[in-house]
Structure 1
Amino acid sequence: MQETPFCLRVGHLLPYSMSDSNTTNFTNPSTFILLGIPGLEAAHVWISIPFCTMYAIAILGNFTILFIVKREPSLHGPMYYFLCMLAFSDLVLSTSTLPKTLSIFWFNSREINFNACLTQMYFIPCFSVIESGILVAMAFDRYVAICDPLRHSTILTNPVVAKIALSVVLRGGMLVLPYPFLASRWPYCRTIIIPHSYCEHMAVVKLACADIHVSSYYGLFVAFMVTGLDVFFIAVSYIQILRAIFSLPTKDAQLKTFGTCGSHLFVILASYIPALFSFVTHRFGHNVAVHFHIIMANVYLLVPPMLYPIIDGVRTKQIWDRLLHLLTYKGT
């Protein structure tokens, strides 16, 4: 016997549906319905296993970095401050989505309050922009450390690092503020079913029965402006870094210096490629399967937070040594 589609099974829960679109007009529904991954409902439990595993690794790894840097005074420097900011941003990003996604997969808890949906819609892009700014700051830190090491401590002082951090946070907070503001003002008279596992910006505003070009164009503007500028500054920093590396006298010195920033390059690629792919396919990839797009939209919020602590923590000798010291001390 063929399973009844979820959108029909929950029809009695939806006071406003597609059939009501000509007669019903309301601005703020009390709840939305998240479908999870449409088309793969039968596999939700299996999909939750890698999702939950990645989330657990991300939580454990990022909290470990925050704990070690806080406990170890020798790690109180610009690179580790930026690393802590990245860890905190990753914790917010993954926690903004995964608990609700897992509740859909495990308990079929698909309802989400309208205000909670707007909160997700704000925090996800806001901390994505903040994270992009942190990657730029980390690239600048590597540039100064490699190209002008004698002035590193005088250029990146604690007040300068604090100003950089504040500007990164303010940029993310202000640029993304129109997302929930505009979404809260659109009338939603078509449906309250969101074919997604979380309240992604365009997935929500597409439900509005109004001209949403302002939201769409502003989202494109923010994405391309932030990504374009940040990638440009990162590229300029690494061009200068590579020039400095290739000017070193020996191959061993070149490889050793490149190793200090190679992990950061991998982190950058792991951040931007899945995020850009998800963003572009959501707006232009009409032939991309819905379930594939939604899986990718979750991957770009899960994989980088899982990888950052592993890459930066393991490759950064001071953090790794401190972690081994703590584990050895507790084991004795």
Structure 2
Amino acid sequence: MKIRFDSSKERSPTQEQGLKVLYAPGKRMAFRLRWYLILLLVASPLIWFFAKLAVGAWMIEAPAQLVLPQIDIRSREPALVSRVNVRAGDKVEAGQVLLDMDNPEWKQRLRQLQALSNDAQAAPVPAASTLRDVLRRQLDRSSEKLALTRRLVREGAATQGEVLAAEAERDQRQAELLSYEQRQEQARTSPALARDVAMQGAEEQWLTGRLQALQLKAPEPGVVSEVLVHEGENVGAGTLLVRVARMADAVIWVYLDPAHAAYGKPGQPLRLKLPDGHWLDAKVLQSADRANRLPEDLRSPFGAPQRWLMVQVAVDGAIPQRWLIDQLPLTARFPHRLSSLFSSD
């Protein structure tokens, strides 16, 4: 398109209605610049389009995404969420407590078992203690009676038969006390009682371990992606509670157009553009083994839906800590290699 400036003002730029205008040359230049600016604005979409074609002919660009593998932390037992210690976006260390949980039924049963255990280890009951004291007093009196009878025999005031009777009474009281103590020992060491005590101890230990396990901790360092429960909420076994993203195992996927599959070979160099405009050197780790649709947040407004090759790449060095964000959009740029277009591999 060529603009011709052949109006009357162009033919006589220094004349305006028969009068000589001193500033006419400058006005003539402004007139030209105005038309060139209008022409530039009209042609800017075409200029942008052809510039994109030129860049695309030399560089292959593809959308990419940084993905942090997720750890799903679920409830292993029915419980009550008593306290939530983290929020989405918090960085956590290995062993850090995420949730405090409780089970009131288990706690009540544990208190019952502890009470039974304390009763079993307590001193003898008053009734048993009283009976033992009575038997001991009877044995003491029978022993005193035997000693008195023997003294009377030596003084001639009693007969030998009375001594034998006193000895028999003393032996009977001693046998009664011994029999009582044997029965008490058998009751304490009976197999049934020992089995019950052992079962109660095992149940108490199991409940203590289960209650301690209700305190959920982070298995490894990461970032909390989601907290799916609230304080005071009852959850069942297997309920998903928290998702933690593993920062140490960040994966970068490049969605490559199938027409550019030759650029998805292992070792292929490329560059990744971060949201702040910085570029990172990277390389392809392995050939694409699957195809998938482009995520919604990576699609262009007028892009046709299709399946793209998913190529995993690795950055040369470390990804900046501030950009370790799950589903972070990136831009991958491959250098154009004409030889790859004619490769039969």
Between structure 1 and structure 2, the one with the greater Rg is 2
User: Could you state the TM-score of these two structures normalised by the residue count of structure 2?
Assistant: 0.19
Larger fraction in strand: 2
